[in-house]
Chains A and B, each alone.
Chain A
């Protein structure tokens, strides 16, 4: 069996004809396997959904309990889906994120979804899974992306609090994963004052806490007992989209930060009007991507969503077989 016959792109997403299922489909399908809970990978409206328990929980929190017709939690070990063996392995991206190993007639393909290699106390570490074909993301697949130690980025935030004690420090974070990781990093840096959060982060942060991730004291920034002056020199976390809205008008002289891998590039910083860029990413940087491919040494590497061209080029230079997998619907900006 050729790899293409086992898994190939369709407009709906990556499709496995033998098992009649899709991985992270972007349109409603009868049977979907989901790698993780980010909205561009996990959509509502499928028939049957197979994912990790945590990913299913997150989807239910985001879309409501009826987000699909029936759901099945992936237990440890291999499952049979219409005669095709599938198993879920930690991807290190966000809580519940998994790589999906699809195995059929001796051929093993790993769809890694989004992943990262650095340590992150808010989710399980990436597990290298030997395979014939490795499907990798390419969000930060340019040799200019080299994510620094996230602790040094958090130190910048804390230094800024000392330097600008009159200003509210607004840190842009996406609600799933980035928010909780940044909070955890702030706690690990020894900051134990309450952190103020935008309402959009509340549900998922509570869920992380219920899963044993200690985030310390969190307080809603919209608490009516708080006045403008209460936010001076404090950290407020919210989705970046909220910072341009009237929500941000409640804070004194806001200093806008953004925790994202994109903050490595100055043009992006300026474009977003960010004053405190924090290079903290939930994805692999260039070194981690290329190291992972070297470590797994698959017969073929398929590259999807992001800068496919550069990673395919690198594989060619290494004498490795690679090709871009033109999947549509995944956001370049997803971070």
Chain B
């Protein structure tokens, strides 16, 4: 538990992705099996552990600590598990335990023994490991490490391709001893196990429009790029799974869709919500994402479906080495057998020249289209983002002119710079209302200029945040590019931007000429 506790402590306060990868890799190198695998499973939420409820913690701590002192402490610390970990006091000689021991102890306790077993563990663990125990046992470490990042760390650790790990992942179980043995080079790669496994996804690169002239239109198939999330639907011998593009199993939230997967194989497509034949905006899909289960009401209000792009597996035949054109034909015949309200085909766009296609791109038939996809007819399906076979040709982003109102200090390379910007537009009452935050899109030189402006125009400070002068005649106008706009009840303005970034600094423009909320609202997706 010692190294695990130290790892959690560092991960929670390390914002950068590279930093987290480094910490995870060092942990895997320094800690033996089975603990490193159990830690990994705890992070990816694949660890099977009987959890402890907050009510039990409160009861335990009330037997040890005066209620008033606990209340004062909890008020100050603000987090129950953290308060308990810090306030717990014991005269017992500390015992170093492995995660494996802790897991075994917790899982083997009967319901009535559980509180005593847990209190005994808290007593005997060294003080700086109690927080890790509590986080482990209450579920949800919240250290800002996604399953994807954990797999990347494994890849870094074993000098392997993350796609290989994603492909193996769902056939493996904690503590992943054979996976580590392979990554360390003293065992064969584990055999592919389990039904309905994930296949690493092929991705497209952004199209460089100037290079279009060198490509022959007849070599390509074009389709719409839908604004949902990329998924893989796999069905094998009665086992059905829906995976995100990083291989996370999201089946639990989509029983309505799983029911419709009456085929043997693996379909690559876009997960969308559709109502009466019309594709619903991304914000509707969001209502169904990031949850473990779903209610009948949500399923009725936001019915989910797949728009199929590709067929990777057909019964027991792996199609990935066949040309895209052939896979599409196989896909079309398979789709015909399915409920089209749940699984339909992403249609080809017929075109002769690139100009034809540019016109389609400029006038997509539905709002929930992000642009076009171009795929070579002869392209085989390979994991990762190869350059050449597939291109995405996104529609132009929306832009608005907004006024900088707050700036926050950055981390790491941006320490000492104000690098995270909140920007606002005008309401009908000539008040600036914040509509978004952006922290990239500018060059290092521009960052220095904005930083200088922020320091010279600060009107108020709140911790790491500065309020900046923003008046009709004085302030900094930012041209903000974004991909779409949703309604939001969380923001005062009532709108939330998707993927906002700074497109240009408009030093030339006075704030009074920035855009209004009314203009912005016209761009709402729904």
Instruction: Select the stretch in B14-22, B92-100, B483-491 that faces chain A.
Output: B14-22
- Of B86, B411, B416, which contacts A246 at CB under 8 A? B416
**Once the chains are docked, how many angstroms separate the CA of A253 from the CA of B22?**
15
Instruction: Select the stretch in B36-44, B65-73, B197-205 that faces chain A.
Output: B65-73
Q: Which residues in chain B, 118-138, are within 8 Å of chain A measured between CB atoms?
A: 127-128
- Least CB separation from A270: chain B residue: B13
**Once the chains are docked, how many angstroms separate the CA of A307 from the CA of B15?**
32
Q: Which residues in chain B, 4-24, are within 8 Å of chain A measured between CB atoms?
A: 6, 12-15, 19, 22-23
CB within 8 Å for A277 and B416 given contacts A143-B65, A143-B87, A266-B79: no
Q: Which residues in chain B, 404-437, are within 8 Å of chain A measured between CB atoms?
A: 409, 411-413, 415-417
Q: Do B416 and A313 touch (CB < 8 A)?
A: no
- Of A152, A248, A271, which contacts B463 at CB under 8 A? A271
Check if A197 is an interface residue, CB within 8 A of chain B. Answer: no
**Once the chains are docked, how many angstroms separate the CA of A267 from the CA of B76?**
9
- Of B72, B128, B411, which contacts A273 at CB under 8 A? B411
Check if A191 is an interface residue, CB within 8 A of chain B. Answer: no
Chain B min CB distance to A166 (Å): 10
Q: Do A163 and B416 touch (CB < 8 A)?
A: no
A-chain residues with CB within 8 Å of residue B128 when the two chains form the complex: 148, 152
- Least CB separation from B22: chain A residue: A163
Chain B min CB distance to A212 (Å): 34
- Least CB separation from B463: chain A residue: A271
**Once the chains are docked, how many angstroms separate the CA of A267 from the CA of B78?**
8
A-chain residues with CB within 8 Å of residue B68 when the two chains form the complex: 313
**Once the chains are docked, how many angstroms separate the CA of A251 from the CA of B411?**
12
CB within 8 Å for A277 and B13 given contacts A243-B416, A249-B417, A251-B415: yes
Q: Do B69 and A313 touch (CB < 8 A)?
A: yes
Q: Do A248 and B87 touch (CB < 8 A)?
A: no
Most buried by A among B86, B413, B463, B464: B86
Q: Which residues in chain A, 207-247, are within 8 Å of chain B measured between CB atoms?
A: 243-247
**Once the chains are docked, how many angstroms separate the CA of A264 from the CA of B73?**
13
**Once the chains are docked, how many angstroms separate the CA of A142 from the CA of B68?**
11
Q: Do A310 and B417 touch (CB < 8 A)?
A: no
Q: Do B415 and A254 touch (CB < 8 A)?
A: yes
CB within 8 Å for A247 and B73 given contacts A266-B79, A267-B79, A275-B14: no
Q: Do A244 and B464 touch (CB < 8 A)?
A: yes
**Once the chains are docked, how many angstroms separate the CA of A60 from the CA of B73?**
39
Q: Which residues in chain A, 116-169, are within 8 Å of chain B measured between CB atoms?
A: 142-146, 148, 152, 156, 163-164, 167
| Count of chain A residues near B, Cβ 8 A | 44
Q: Do A245 and B412 touch (CB < 8 A)?
A: no
Check if B83 is an interface residue, CB within 8 A of chain A. Answer: yes
Q: Do B416 and A275 touch (CB < 8 A)?
A: no
CB within 8 Å for A313 and B72 given contacts A163-B26, A264-B86: yes
Q: Do B15 and A245 touch (CB < 8 A)?
A: no
Chain B min CB distance to A42 (Å): 27
Chain A min CB distance to B454 (Å): 11
Q: Which residues in chain B, 149-174, are within 8 Å of chain A measured between CB atoms?
A: none
Check if B77 is an interface residue, CB within 8 A of chain A. Answer: yes
**Once the chains are docked, how many angstroms separate the CA of A142 from the CA of B75?**
11
Check if A309 is an interface residue, CB within 8 A of chain B. Answer: yes
Q: Do B72 and A309 touch (CB < 8 A)?
A: yes
CB within 8 Å for A307 and B76 given contacts A164-B22, A269-B13, A276-B13: yes
**Once the chains are docked, how many angstroms separate the CA of A270 from the CA of B89?**
25
B-chain residues with CB within 8 Å of residue A245 when the two chains form the complex: 416
B-chain residues with CB within 8 Å of residue A145 when the two chains form the complex: 86
Check if A274 is an interface residue, CB within 8 A of chain B. Answer: yes
**Once the chains are docked, how many angstroms separate the CA of A321 from the CA of B413?**
54
**Once the chains are docked, how many angstroms separate the CA of A252 from the CA of B463?**
23
Q: Do B416 and A248 touch (CB < 8 A)?
A: yes
Q: Which residues in chain A, 254-279, are within 8 Å of chain B measured between CB atoms?
A: 254-256, 264-267, 269-277
A-chain residues with CB within 8 Å of residue B464 when the two chains form the complex: 244, 272-273
Q: Do B77 and A254 touch (CB < 8 A)?
A: no
Chain B min CB distance to A175 (Å): 19
Q: Which residues in chain A, 270-304, are within 8 Å of chain B measured between CB atoms?
A: 270-277
**Once the chains are docked, how many angstroms separate the CA of A309 from the CA of B69?**
9
Chain B min CB distance to A148 (Å): 6
**Once the chains are docked, how many angstroms separate the CA of A274 from the CA of B13?**
7
Q: Do A254 and B463 touch (CB < 8 A)?
A: no
Q: Do B79 and A275 touch (CB < 8 A)?
A: no
- Of B6, B12, B26, B76, which contacts A142 at CB under 8 A? B76
**Once the chains are docked, how many angstroms separate the CA of A269 from the CA of B13?**
8
Chain B min CB distance to A82 (Å): 40
Q: Do B412 and A144 touch (CB < 8 A)?
A: no
Q: Do A142 and B72 touch (CB < 8 A)?
A: yes
A-chain residues with CB within 8 Å of residue B463 when the two chains form the complex: 271-272
- Of A167, A246, A314, which contacts B69 at CB under 8 A? A314
Q: Do B66 and A313 touch (CB < 8 A)?
A: yes
Known: A163-B26, A255-B412, A313-B66. 16 other contacts (CB 8 A): A142-B73, A142-B76, A143-B86, A143-B89, A152-B128, A156-B6, A167-B412, A245-B416, A252-B413, A253-B412, A253-B415, A264-B86, A273-B409, A275-B15, A310-B73, A314-B66
Residues of B within 8 A of A (CB): 6, 12-15, 19, 22-23, 26, 65-66, 68-70, 72-73, 76-79, 82-83, 86-87, 89, 127-128, 409, 411-413, 415-417, 455, 463-464
Query: Can you report 30 residue pairs joining A to B where beta carbons are below 8 Å apart?
Result: A142-B69, A142-B73, A143-B69, A143-B87, A143-B89, A144-B77, A144-B83, A146-B86, A156-B6, A170-B415, A243-B415, A243-B416, A244-B409, A249-B417, A251-B416, A253-B412, A255-B412, A256-B411, A265-B76, A265-B77, A265-B82, A266-B79, A267-B78, A272-B464, A273-B464, A275-B15, A275-B19, A277-B13, A307-B76, A313-B72
Residues of A within 8 A of B (CB): 142-146, 148, 152, 156, 163-164, 167, 170, 243-249, 251-256, 264-267, 269-277, 307, 309-310, 313-314, 317
